[in-house]
Amino acid sequence: MTQARFSVTRPTAGHPAVVAVSGDIDLANVDEFKDAMAKACNGSAALTVDLTGVSYCDSAAVRALFALAATTELSMIVRPSGHITTLLAISGLDRVADVVRTE
């Protein structure tokens, strides 16, 4: 029942690919999330993941993001505050990857 949508913007000169995620990410659909990021990243050196449309995510998503940060230069876009923003801060994901808060 967990639903998420992924929209990918292809990389352009000087800008990495962007995956915009909306909906919920948990154990039930984290594999889809990983697939979408892996495809968008496609071995390139950098990837941006826009999480501003994510309403809920749990440990499964945080683990996937840590794994991604280990293999590529990861930037995440989040809302200024809220569940996801808090999760990235308390886990320390914001210390091993870039986190950009929207205004």
Residue 24 found at the interface with other proteins (CB under 8 A): yes
Q: Which is nearer to other proteins, 10 or 28 (CB)?
A: 28
Total number of residues that touch other proteins (CB under 8 A): 31
b/e for 59-71, b at 16 or more Cβ within 10 A? ebbbebbeebbee
Q: Is 84 exposed, middle or buried (0-12, 13-18, 19+ CB in 10 A)?
A: buried
Q: Should residue 86 be labelled a site residue for other proteins when binding is judged by CB under 8 A?
A: yes
| Cβ at position 12, least distance to other proteins in Å | 25
- CA-CA-CA-CA torsion sign (75, 71, 8, 93): negative
Query: Which positions touch other proteins (CB under 8 A)?
Result: 1-2, 24, 26-28, 55-56, 58-60, 62-63, 66-67, 69-70, 74, 81-83, 86-87, 89-93, 95-97
